[in-house]
Chain A
Amino acid sequence: MVEYLAIFIYFLIATGLAIILLGVSFLASTRKPDPEKISAYECGFDPFDDARSRFDVQFYLVAILFIIFDLEVTFLFPWALVLNRVGLFGFWSMMAFLLILTIGFVYEWRKGALDWS
């Protein structure tokens, strides 16, 4: 538990450093805003139309897939640590779990959820 203290201090220092870096450029730079400068950058043109656009469901799918396989990894960590204790039974239990996930993955693949064309 005590090693988290060092990580916490490290986190504080990193935050402080980031604030300092931002602050220095904030203090030292010259700022002369005008409408052209603060307008949105669209390759030199004025924006053509509304910034709102239809959301591509692909991003959503990828996010969901990430959550699923992230969970899978969460289950794999403890299994990998104690593999020599849980023996063949533990090994095959995890293989069953992975098989089910793989079947889900095959389903996604064939459905074209990973297809970005």
Chain B
Amino acid sequence: MNSFVQITHEFAQSVEPSTELNFQSLLFENDFKAVFPELFLVLASLFLLIYGVVWTTSASTGYPLLLRNVNWLALLTLLLTAMIAANSPIGHGVFFYHTFLLDDVTFFFKMLVVVGALSSLLISLDYLERESVNGFEFALLLLLSTSSMLFLISAADFISMYLAIELQSLCFYVLAAFKRDSEFSTEAGLKYFLLGVFSSGLLLFGCSLIYGFTGVIEFSELSKVFASLASSGEVYSDKVDLVQASQAFGASLEGSPLQPPSAGGGDGHLAGGGSLVSTSSWRGCELGMIFLLIGFLFKLTAVPFHMWAPDVYEGAPTAVTAFFSITPKPALLVVFARLLYQSFYDFMIEWQTFLIFCSVASMVLGSFAGLAQHRIKRLLAYSSIGHVGYLLISFCCGTLEGLQGLAIYLVIYIVVTVNIFAVVMTPLRRASHSAQQQQGVERIKYTTDLAMLAKNNPLLAATLTVSVFSLAGIPPLAGFYGKAFLFWAALSSSQYLLALVGILTSAISCFYYIRIVKIMYFEAPQNWLSFSRLSKESSLVLALTTFFVVALMAYPYPLYVASHKVALALSM
């Protein structure tokens, strides 16, 4: 009531002439330049939405499907986004009241995400047409989730992080259930939705705990609060006033609309009777951090929280599975790395223990459960769980090499995943029954469907062999360098257990990777299948990715330099 009176009062006064500059309109003058790629991506997808819906419902043109058309426009949008991001006028900085930040890390991972989305759409063009996934909305959901991943990469506080994750997940739930007439797809969407929402809830609870105990949501401010706590002596016994610490650093956020409320609330607390005992708030922050970790590990499908992944990967349309396994990992991992290395570096002992457990468990489960799989998408799901385990090694190192290993491994993993999914989405033609000769819409379900691929399509078999060997980490291929770098980083930071388990499990997982090769080259098929023609786009992507996998050993320096730059920027 009071505020209302005050507002009406001010409204009466506010008729003064505004000769002075209105600072609020100038406030974001330069900030929009920083989010130009995201802005373009969002606006273009909104434009495409209108374009698509107007034309697909227009009776005069006979309700065209616009599938290929919108997909190509989406590809163009992604390409332009990548070009805009590459030519961004602003390279570093914090924008929108500490909401977004830009540095070398965000640039690297944004390019990775955009190129990943681009290639995953490129390889699924043909698939989408063949499977008659006829909604033009597919490409739009893909674009919107890509834009949210870009926002996620440059998130600088809990709110923007959570909102970006939610926008991304919301698009993913719809994408997983995109084929409405398929029970598997619907089931995948529902499972993904329930578990995704649950993990988001955990994530949000972690954020709110940390905010409640510190009164700070920005990653950089959190690091200051925790550092001051840690440096002020024995954290577990001494009475360090966390509220005061946060207040001191909160004062540096001048003009921020998100002023930590601890200034008022904390004082009340102090007056109410005694200061906040630091042990409890330290413990509280630890608890919040554990919830955050669990939420992230759910999203990353690390092992104790992986149960949804195989079903979702199996049930969702293959184009969606490809998109799920290619694009979101870098975005999630980079913000995870930023949280761990920037905000929670002082909690390193705690999260390191937690992550070592998850990493070992993921590697072990990924390698052993993969042995029992005969369905190719499920196999790839378990394989990706195993690779998440390898990626988590890099966090446990806590060193520059670890972060560098993360970037290198991610790039290689994404390239190889693109390659494998390009093959998996190739249409099959069943040749055994002459009556069903024309039925050319079979897709690969089982690994045995690949039998005699070496005879039917030797080049494709060779490509798949190369990429599967690369996943397994066979020496002259790119995957080997990624794994070797990670294991070296683990060894140099004395994580002998991780390196040992990593090497052992990658030897075990070689078994099922090599089994695919064996099936392709040496196994007589039960029912004869032959691959039909690859689309031009897929073959182009296949050629490029295979070239990358084979040729990385000859010239790895750009990747090493770029990843080192990323690691340096991330650890600062």
Chain A residue, CB-CB nearest to B26 = A89
Knowing A84-B14, A106-B53 are in contact, say whether A90-B24 is a contact too (CB < 8 A).
yes
Which residues of A have CB within 8 Å of B49? Answer: 103, 107
Chain A residue, CB-CB nearest to B47 = A103
Residue among A82, A86, A87, A111 with the highest chain B CB neighbour number at 10 A: A87
Q: Is A106's CB under 8 angstroms from B7's CB? A: no
Knowing A82-B7, A84-B10, A85-B10 are in contact, say whether A110-B53 is a contact too (CB < 8 A).
yes
Confirm or deny: A112 has a beta carbon within 8 angstroms of a beta carbon on chain B: yes
The digit string for B319-333, where 1 denotes a CB below 8 A from any CB of A, is: 000000000000000
The digit string for B1-28, where 1 denotes a CB below 8 A from any CB of A, is: 1001001001100100000001011011
Q: Is B1's CB under 8 angstroms from A3's CB? A: yes
Confirm or deny: B514 has a beta carbon within 8 angstroms of a beta carbon on chain A: no
Confirm or deny: B54 has a beta carbon within 8 angstroms of a beta carbon on chain A: yes
Q: Which chain B residues numbered 43 to 70 have a C-beta less than 8 Å away from chain A?
A: 46, 49-50, 53-54, 57
Q: Is A84's CB under 8 angstroms from B28's CB? A: no
The digit string for B475-504, where 1 denotes a CB below 8 A from any CB of A, is: 000000000000000000000000000000
Q: Which chain A residues numbered 1 to 34 have a C-beta less than 8 Å away from chain B?
A: 3
Q: Is B53's CB under 8 angstroms from A111's CB? A: yes
Chain A residue, CB-CB nearest to B42 = A100
Chain B residue, CB-CB nearest to A112 = B57
Which residues of B have CB within 8 Å of A81? Answer: 4, 7
The digit string for A96-117, where 1 denotes a CB below 8 A from any CB of B, is: 0000100100110011100000
Confirm or deny: A88 has a beta carbon within 8 angstroms of a beta carbon on chain B: yes
Complex CA gap A84/B22 in Å reads 12
- On chain A, which size bracket covers the interface? 10 to 19
- On chain B, which size bracket covers the interface? 10 to 19
Knowing A107-B53, A110-B57 are in contact, say whether A86-B24 is a contact too (CB < 8 A).
yes
Smallest beta-carbon distance B18→chain A, Å = 9
Knowing A82-B7, A84-B14 are in contact, say whether A106-B25 is a contact too (CB < 8 A).
no
Q: Is A87's CB under 8 angstroms from B1's CB? A: no
Which residues of A have CB within 8 Å of B27? Answer: 89
Q: Residue B22 contacts which of A3, A88, A107, A111 (CB distance < 8 angstroms)?
A: A88
Which residues of A have CB within 8 Å of B46? Answer: 100, 103
Which residues of B have CB within 8 Å of A112? Answer: 57
Chain B residue, CB-CB nearest to A92 = B25
Which residues of A have CB within 8 Å of B4? Answer: 81
Q: A-B contact count, CB below 8 Å?
A: 38
Smallest beta-carbon distance B32→chain A, Å = 11
Chain B residue, CB-CB nearest to A108 = B53
Q: Is A87's CB under 8 angstroms from B25's CB? A: yes
Q: Residue B11 contacts which of A84, A87, A107 (CB distance < 8 angstroms)?
A: A84
Smallest beta-carbon distance B287→chain A, Å = 31
Complex CA gap A85/B398 in Å reads 47
Complex CA gap A107/B144 in Å reads 15
Knowing A87-B22, A88-B25, A110-B57 are in contact, say whether A103-B10 is a contact too (CB < 8 A).
no
Smallest beta-carbon distance A106→chain B, Å = 6
Complex CA gap A88/B18 in Å reads 12
Q: Is A107's CB under 8 angstroms from B14's CB? A: no
Which residues of A have CB within 8 Å of B10? Answer: 84-85
Complex CA gap A5/B388 in Å reads 55
Which residues of A have CB within 8 Å of B14? Answer: 84
Complex CA gap A110/B53 in Å reads 6
Which residues of A have CB within 8 Å of B54? Answer: 110
Complex CA gap A81/B7 in Å reads 8
Which residues of B have CB within 8 Å of A87? Answer: 22, 24-25
Chain B residue, CB-CB nearest to A86 = B24
Smallest beta-carbon distance B135→chain A, Å = 10
Smallest beta-carbon distance A27→chain B, Å = 43
Smallest beta-carbon distance B262→chain A, Å = 23
Q: Residue B50 contacts which of A84, A86, A88, A106 (CB distance < 8 angstroms)?
A: A106
Chain B residue, CB-CB nearest to A2 = B1
Q: Is A89's CB under 8 angstroms from B7's CB? A: no
Smallest beta-carbon distance A77→chain B, Å = 12
Complex CA gap A112/B53 in Å reads 10
Complex CA gap A89/B336 in Å reads 33
Which residues of B have CB within 8 Å of A85? Answer: 7, 10
Smallest beta-carbon distance B437→chain A, Å = 39
Chain A residue, CB-CB nearest to B22 = A87
Complex CA gap A90/B53 in Å reads 30
The digit string for A20-56, where 1 denotes a CB below 8 A from any CB of B, is: 0000000000000000000000000000000000000
Complex CA gap A112/B57 in Å reads 9
Q: Is B25's CB under 8 angstroms from A89's CB? A: yes
Which residues of A have CB within 8 Å of B50? Answer: 103, 106-107
Complex CA gap A112/B54 in Å reads 11
Complex CA gap A88/B24 in Å reads 8
Which residues of A have CB within 8 Å of B22? Answer: 87-89
Smallest beta-carbon distance A100→chain B, Å = 7
Complex CA gap A5/B188 in Å reads 48
Q: Which chain B residues numbered 29 to 49 have a C-beta less than 8 Å away from chain A?
A: 46, 49
Complex CA gap A108/B24 in Å reads 35
Smallest beta-carbon distance A26→chain B, Å = 41
Chain B residue, CB-CB nearest to A82 = B7
Which residues of A have CB within 8 Å of B7? Answer: 81-82, 84-85
Complex CA gap A111/B135 in Å reads 12
Smallest beta-carbon distance B261→chain A, Å = 18
Complex CA gap A82/B57 in Å reads 40
Smallest beta-carbon distance A43→chain B, Å = 37
Q: Which chain A residues numbered 63 to 93 have a C-beta less than 8 Å away from chain B?
A: 81-82, 84-90
Complex CA gap A85/B7 in Å reads 9
The digit string for B176-208, where 1 denotes a CB below 8 A from any CB of A, is: 000000000000000000000000000000000
**A/B interface sample: 13 pairs, CB < 8 A:** A3-B1, A81-B4, A81-B7, A84-B10, A85-B10, A87-B24, A87-B25, A89-B22, A90-B24, A103-B50, A106-B50, A110-B53, A110-B57
List the interface of chain A (C-beta within 8 A of B).
Answer: 3, 81-82, 84-90, 100, 103, 106-107, 110-112
Q: List 8 additional A-B contacts (Cβ < 8 Å) besides A87-B24, A107-B49, A110-B54.
A: A81-B7, A84-B10, A84-B14, A85-B7, A85-B10, A87-B22, A90-B24, A107-B50
